[in-house]
Structure 1
Amino acid sequence: MGNKKKIGFWSIVLLGINSIIGSGIFLLPNQAMELIGPASLLVILFDMLLVVSIALCFAEVGGMFNKNGGPYVYAKEAFGDFVGFEVGFMKWAIGIIAWATMAVGFVTALSAIWPAAGEGMTKNIIIVAILGGLGVVNILGVNISKVLNNIITVGKLLPLIIFIAVGIFFIKGSNFTPVFPNGTYVSGSFGATALLIFYAFTGFESIAVAAEDMDNPEKNIPKAIITVMIIVSVVYLLIQTVSIGILGQGLAITKTPVADASSIFLGSWGGILVSAGTLVSIGGINIASSFITPRTAVALAEDGLLPKCLAKYNKKGTPYISIIVTVALTIPVALSGSFTKLAAISVVSRFAQYVPTCLAVLVLRKKRPDLKSSFKIPLGPVVPILAICVSIWLLFQSSTEKILWGLGGLIIGIPIYLLMIKMNKKHKNDVEDVA
């Protein structure tokens, strides 16, 4: 290992919190209220348990390999090249859908301060400007420093902490009844809400990846995952509780729930503070996405699974072709739907990574006993099987349209895979002929 400085336990916890808390919790409490009312608090707990079980699967397989490639490597080792390619290709597709969701999320949050931003042509122009502008910044190799990242983390968490700490004193108990909208449970609303709120928890997979640079990973990985999930879940529960307690039934009809609730108990400056925090938070995630998403395609191109041109770098050291292609694919996705719709599609597409990773735990335990993980999930196969079953159940709570959008990348991937195999074979033959 040499003298490489290991990341301490609390640094990993902060990294995990920063990866998870993004646009979702600022913009989704209203949708959850509309679907299932105050019972949305139970949905948050349900999602927390599902996410912890999936994250533990990531921790076990993550401990078997060095950290490059993540789910793509796990699927390839467990199920062979084709499944590995599909998971890797979906990682890029998920990045594109997630970035599109963030760009629309930014416009949705901006509309709280400037209503025209959420309407028609203005909305579309801002979305294209965000995606195109960040693409240009990225191609020019402008380095967005760690300082900016730290400012964004503080800018994101500060308004949420103020919102909870002050808002808790203004809650009205009567706003929590009836538990379901109009006093009756609508069939399927629990699953639909669980799928939507799950979006706010995504990003946890980065904990297991970063955990390989940790001190004492065997002890600290599961501890960090559970600590992060408890902190995030408590924050989400408190935000939802304060939002319901202050806005009551009105929560279901607001576009920017946290900002609207703040302006009630903190006055107009409170609403502005939270809106600014929301924009900083979602802006930061847009910047991160603009850097990470094109580089996912680069990794696949370097492995010969996508055209080699996607791995070309310019003089500034940036993968310019991959950036241009990623931006060109993200713009139509962003213009195609609302934040809520894209968030649901983003969740559906993520299961194309989560389910193979949970399955890989079971397969690699049997197939590759030589791969010793730095962490093993307790209770034998119970946790991975539970995570797989609940994930599949949750997928079926989505509409056919969203499933097709979310998993369409798997179908698109098949001809690309076959084409790349053919091209690589031809290239290999040409090289052999020359030799």
Structure 2
Amino acid sequence: MGSKEKLGLWSIVLLGINGVVGSGVYLLPGKAYALMGPSSLWGYVLDTLLVLAIALCFAETGGMFDKTGGPYLYAKEAFGDFVGFEVGIMKWAISIIAWATMAVGFATALSVFWPSAATGTLKNVIAISIIVVLSIVNYFGVSITKYLNNIVTVAKLLPLILFVIIGVFFIKGSNFVATPEINTAANLGPALILIFYAFTGFESLAVAAGDMENPKKNVPIALMITMILASVIYILTQAVAIGTLGTSLAKSTAPVADSAKAFLGEFGVILVTLGTLISIGGINVAASFNTPRAGVALAEGGILPMVIAKKSKYGTPYIAIIITALLAIPLVLTGGFVKLAMISVISRFAQYIPTSLAVIVLRKRKDLPSTFRIPFGPTIPIVAVVVSLWLLTKATSEQIIWGLGGLVIGVPLYFILKYTVKGGSNNLTN
């Protein structure tokens, strides 16, 4: 049964929400407010529009294929092996880094209840245990991972839903008056990049298309549902945080917990902290499923050895699962949380820009009809590219170097593998 189990539409949606809604929704409200004041609420609205433009491009390209791959596959089909390789290698590498970061993030969040969990050997043991246990669960089949993902996603959304439903009754309108000491216009770019972090992760949804029911139809629908639901959650959470904390929100390091404490007392703190743990735990579940399949996509595309795509008797890519875990574990030991997270954020644009451009190119291929087509011709893909480039101009040089430096490393690696990988060299020498 494990080899035949597929993810249905709502399991795909929950997988997407699990991959998108994470620590950002709990930690960003205060930092966003510090940059834009009450106008930070509009920052979420603007980023929602920007992300939807990019997500629409993923929806159209996702509707063209029923194979595993996601951004790598779209780039390869549109621009050839080299661009596909660069996007694919970046995707797998960054996914591994992101998973290691989230595993350590769980240990850090756990320190609210268990202070020693955030440092030293105990931190490493907790994070490595998460990677090992979830890899084992993933090995035994899509079915187990699917049900675990569904349970975790629903569980982590409940605290946020309660926070919003109860919190709206405690909002003070006076807290939304603009604060003149904050230069909203000057801080718009940095604020949008900061808030944008909360929306990342949706691009992983199509990577595991081969494990989904009718992916040509379900991936585009799931993408739109995922991003709309995530956007609503973010905007309402920010509104409640502003409305209940006012200017003190700017100084809060745990904004949602502090907001919940204002109208729910200590119960609110416990509720939100548990939500944070479940949220980060949920991202770890999603990462354990999506990350190995990024490597499978490269192998099935003939760029990496086919052994990486080898399936277990349960129908899962066990070689890719093992490699992913073995690479993630050493990263846990580095302890470089902030820098690893920074790499993950900026590197996403190595997927967003090629995918948006791929829409324009792949539309010309009559052999690739899509189940979904973006309206207004090439306008939205072009807007997505321009917005992505604009956001990159707002990043610091250090962020660019760390975030996109992998593209430079990928150049020699591509040519080395082009002439050395058996079974894949044919696809690299077209």
If the length of structure 2 is used for normalisation, what is the TM-score?
0.84
Residues 408, 329 of structure 1: alpha-carbon distance in 2 compared, 3 angstrom cutoff: farther
- Map 1:271-420 onto structure 2 (within 5 A): 271-307=269-305, 310-311=308-309, 322-331=320-329, 333=331, 342-366=340-364, 368-420=365-417
- Residue 353 of structure 1: how far off its partner (Å): 1.0
Where does residue 35 of structure 1 map in the other structure? 35
- Residue 263 of structure 1: how far off its partner (Å): 2.1
Residues 216, 134 of structure 1: alpha-carbon distance in 2 compared, 3 angstrom cutoff: closer
Residues 227, 49 of structure 1: alpha-carbon distance in 2 compared, 3 angstrom cutoff: same
Residues 16-47 of structure 1: CA distance to partner in whole angstroms, max 9, x if unpaired? 44443222212221221222222211111111
- Map 1:257-268 onto structure 2 (within 5 A): 257-268=255-266
- Identical aligned pairs, as a percentage? 59
CA contact (8 A) 1:102 1:285 kept: yes
- Residue 280 of structure 1: how far off its partner (Å): 1.3
- Residue 328 of structure 1: how far off its partner (Å): 4.5
Where does residue 110 of structure 2 map in the other structure? 110
- Residue 148 of structure 1: how far off its partner (Å): 2.4
Residues 252, 61 of structure 1: alpha-carbon distance in 2 compared, 3 angstrom cutoff: same
| Partner Cα separation in structure 1 for residue 216 and residue 185 of structure 2 | 47
* Secondary structure class of the residue paired with 1:28: helix
Where does residue 432 of structure 1 map in the other structure? none
| Partner Cα separation in structure 2 for residue 12 and residue 49 of structure 1 | 22
| Partner Cα separation in structure 2 for residue 215 and residue 72 of structure 1 | 16
Where does residue 166 of structure 1 map in the other structure? 166
Residues 160, 256 of structure 1: alpha-carbon distance in 2 compared, 3 angstrom cutoff: same
| Partner Cα separation in structure 2 for residue 216 and residue 358 of structure 1 | 18
- Residue 326 of structure 1: how far off its partner (Å): 2.8
- Residue 393 of structure 1: how far off its partner (Å): 0.5
- Residue 146 of structure 1: how far off its partner (Å): 3.4
CA contact (8 A) 1:52 1:225 kept: no
Residues 247, 426 of structure 1: alpha-carbon distance in 2 compared, 3 angstrom cutoff: closer
- Residue 215 of structure 1: how far off its partner (Å): 10
- Residue 190 of structure 1: how far off its partner (Å): 1.3
Residues 268, 19 of structure 1: alpha-carbon distance in 2 compared, 3 angstrom cutoff: same
- Residue 116 of structure 1: how far off its partner (Å): 4.4
Residues 313-340 of structure 1: CA distance to partner in whole angstroms, max 9, x if unpaired? 6788765654454345435655667766
| Partner Cα separation in structure 2 for residue 146 and residue 315 of structure 1 | 17
Question: Are 1:422 and 2:419 counterparts?
Answer: yes
Residues 183, 95 of structure 1: alpha-carbon distance in 2 compared, 3 angstrom cutoff: closer
Where does residue 74 of structure 1 map in the other structure? 74
| Partner Cα separation in structure 1 for residue 167 and residue 43 of structure 2 | 22
Residues 350, 428 of structure 1: alpha-carbon distance in 2 compared, 3 angstrom cutoff: closer
Residues 110, 256 of structure 1: alpha-carbon distance in 2 compared, 3 angstrom cutoff: farther
- Residue 262 of structure 1: how far off its partner (Å): 1.3
CA contact (8 A) 1:307 1:420 kept: no
| Partner Cα separation in structure 2 for residue 14 and residue 131 of structure 1 | 21
One-letter amino acid matched to 1:58: F
Structure 1 unmatched ranges of 5 or more: 430-435
Residues 97-117 of structure 1: CA distance to partner in whole angstroms, max 9, x if unpaired? 321332243234323334444
Residue range with higher mean Cα deviation, 222-231 or 343-352: 222-231
Aligned length: 420
CA contact (8 A) 1:112 1:256 kept: no
CA contact (8 A) 1:28 1:197 kept: yes
One-letter amino acid matched to 2:406: G
- Residue 237 of structure 1: how far off its partner (Å): 1.0
2:236 corresponds, among 235, 238, 244, to: 238
| Partner Cα separation in structure 1 for residue 306 and residue 176 of structure 2 | 56
Residues 116, 36 of structure 1: alpha-carbon distance in 2 compared, 3 angstrom cutoff: farther
- Residue 208 of structure 1: how far off its partner (Å): 6.3
Residues 331, 42 of structure 1: alpha-carbon distance in 2 compared, 3 angstrom cutoff: farther
If the length of structure 1 is used for normalisation, what is the TM-score?
0.83
| Partner Cα separation in structure 2 for residue 133 and residue 320 of structure 1 | 14
| Partner Cα separation in structure 2 for residue 134 and residue 317 of structure 1 | 16
CA contact (8 A) 1:156 1:280 kept: yes
Where does residue 61 of structure 2 map in the other structure? 61
| Partner Cα separation in structure 2 for residue 124 and residue 279 of structure 1 | 17
1:255 corresponds, among 235, 253, 256, to: 253
CA contact (8 A) 1:6 1:214 kept: no
